[in-house]
């Protein structure tokens, strides 16, 4: 299977919504993604495509010289194929090319698979947000990656 990483467009939203709904207990809405793509000048979104269908996506906000990853998700039928890694590489490459010095994100404390992925890309736990998630009040770990080292 050939996977291509491209910029997310409005045409990808239907696939992205399916991935979002199958990946998160409190998924973003179609309107949220439309707002990100159309109105958020800080937003950077990529999709992973196979056979012209989005099978994963990743988003980040560029705020001055910092990046904040908003979400990364891969369709359940395509997990464990290094698609999440490819998307994270795309975000980090964008960061390098656009003078982003550090990238942060929040991840559920229970999401060990995501934490392992981020650790492979030099993200380290630097803090905790107590009761961060609205659905079950689970803590989020704050992870960061220094792009200058």
Which residue among the candidates 94, 118, 132, 138 is catalytic per the annotation? 118
Annotated active-site residue 78? The verdict is no
Tokens of 21: 């709904």
Are 91 and 67 in contact by the 8 Å Cβ rule? The answer is: yes
- Tell me if residue 134 falls in helix, strand or coil: coil
Closest CA to 109 of 96, 82, 127: 127
Which residue among the candidates 78, 106, 133, 138 is catalytic per the annotation? 106
Give me the residue label for tokens 């990853």. 69
Annotated active-site residue 106? The verdict is yes
CA distance 16 to 89: 19
The residues that are catalytic are 106, 118
């Amino acid at each position: 299977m050939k996977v291509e990483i491209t910029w997310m467009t409005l045409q990808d939203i239907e696939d992205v919504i399916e991935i979002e709904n199958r990946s998160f207990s409190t998924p973003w809405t179609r309107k949220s993604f439309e707002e990100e793509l159309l109105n958020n000048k800080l937003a950077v979104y990529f999709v992973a495509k196979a056979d012209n269908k989005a099978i994963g996506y990743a988003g980040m906000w560029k705020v001055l010289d910092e990046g904040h990853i908003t979400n990364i998700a891969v369709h359940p039928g395509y997990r464990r194929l290094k698609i999440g890694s490819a998307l994270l590489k795309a975000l980090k490459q964008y960061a390098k090319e656009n003078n982003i010095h550090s990238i942060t994100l929040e991840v559920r404390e229970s999401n060990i698979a995501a934490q392992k992925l981020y650790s492979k890309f030099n993200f380290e736990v630097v803090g905790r947000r107590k009761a961060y998630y609205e659905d079950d009040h689970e803590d989020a770990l704050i992870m960061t990656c220094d792009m200058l080292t």
